[in-house]
Structure 1
């Protein structure tokens, strides 16, 4: 299994630098890796409830009552390997300050992300970490903004795929019990298996129905089954389709076409029966009549 040195070396190789045998090696690569590796790893672990990095633990209640935040009765010690609290099972309010959790509960069960040793990292996370490190290393090692942006794009792709793979292996079970269901199924309780998958990148837009189930291609993880009245962005997000402007009345039923002569000259062409209207900058420029269309 790869070590932290192996992962950092692979990240350096991705940006064209030499591998290292120790974080104490001479050279810019080793110094940058030694400084950035721990925090980059923790940052990536904190971005998702990775199944391999989650722990549940009953927090240790301190015997001494809180001398601050006196509206809370108890203080609890947070785990030493904690990176991020993901869930607290509590029936009352609580607050996190420093390495303590304050609550009125007598017992607190915490689900949290912890700092996983490299030997226990799955391959999909390791690959994501390598590209994330490469993006962080690139500016300091190569002084190339374009290299950093390239690695950042790769890191987003591999991280999205890693999150999807991780989520696929974690089905959630819900027991449905309601008067409506009892009436429909004669009071029998049944299980519904739900598979939750995290998706942060939608830049492939709406996929062709024939691609449903194609988990072997990247578009499956970055695409949408249905995308109605939305525009997807190259960065991965999506937003509502903007409204339309009223420019004028078409001569007859027809179709609209965009025409770009260059980056500064774009036109809207309105084709109807034997006629064409030309708009530029939302203003009608001319009407063309003829028989050659």
Structure 2
């Protein structure tokens, strides 16, 4: 798998920009290059957005949440703190009625177990297709600032990103048996029985 620097360099090569060796100043170079500055500013936002775009198998986690003491609500009895690495909620087990509010889940059950997409920061855990998607997203995000592309070139890089994302989603979703989200039949299906 690729390191953060390798992924950034793939993105930089796709836009014809200079590669970097690190993300921090060194003894011989006390100032960051434009590529380093952009990579630093774009990395976290791009990673979290790419992770949120699909329930990637490598990023799915199960967890039992901690109840927030002293919560007083009108619609729900309990509040639970979302994990610090939370990106996107996929399921609340038991299928209760719930609401995500800020960094909390509100519901009436005394226990809250969830499946969620986690913010996987270790690039060595990433799927190869996701790594390619991330590199393309960075190429798009950094491209205009580094190359002063026309709007057409910028749009083209985004189109390539969308195509890579679509292909990666397909590959990821065919690697296992599909989970049932919701865990119950639709009223339109059960009425036919």
Name 2:15's counterpart in structure 1: 15
Structure 2 counterpart of 1:39: 45
- Decide which structure has greater helix share: 2
CA RMSD of aligned residues (A): 1.7
Q: 1:75 to 1:173 in 2, by over 3 A?
A: closer
Separation of aligned partners in 1, 2:40 and 2:147: 16
Task: Count matched residues.
Answer: 172
1:50-74 Cα offsets, whole Å, 9 max, x none, are 1111111111123x2313x233211
**Structure 2 counterpart of 1:60, from 66, 76, 87:** 66
Unaligned runs of 5+ in 2: 26-31, 181-193
* Residue of structure 2 aligned with 1:87, choices 87, 91, 96: 91
- Equivalent residues of 1:66, 1:72 under 8 A apart: no
Q: Using CA pairs below 8 Å that are at least 6 residues apart, which structure has the higher relative contact order?
A: 2
* TM-score normalised by the chain length of structure 1: 0.55
Alpha-carbon separation, structure 1, partners of 2:97 and 2:124: 37
The residue aligned with 2:187 is none
Could you tell me how far 1:39 is from its partner in structure 2? 0.6
Give runs of ≥4 in structure 1 deviating > 4 Å: none
Corresponding residue SS for 2:49 = helix
Relative to its length, the structure with more strand (as a share) is 1
CA distance in structure 2 between the aligned counterparts of 1:169 and 1:71, rounded to whole angstroms: 39
Residue 133 of structure 2 corresponds to residue 128 of structure 1:
yes
TM-score by length of 2: 0.82
Q: Distance in 2 between matches of 1:53 and 1:173?
A: 15
Aligned to 2:123: 118
Hey, what's the Cα distance between the residues in 2 that align with 1:49 and 1:87?
11
Larger Rg: 1
Q: What pairs with 1:1-293 in structure 2 (closer than 5 Å)?
A: 1-25=1-25, 26-62=32-68, 64-67=69-72, 69-116=73-120, 117-144=122-149, 145-172=151-178
SS in 1 for 2:178: strand
How far does the alpha carbon of each residue in 1:154-186 deviate from its partner, in whole angstroms, 9 at most, with x for none? 111111111111011022389xxxxxxxxxxxx
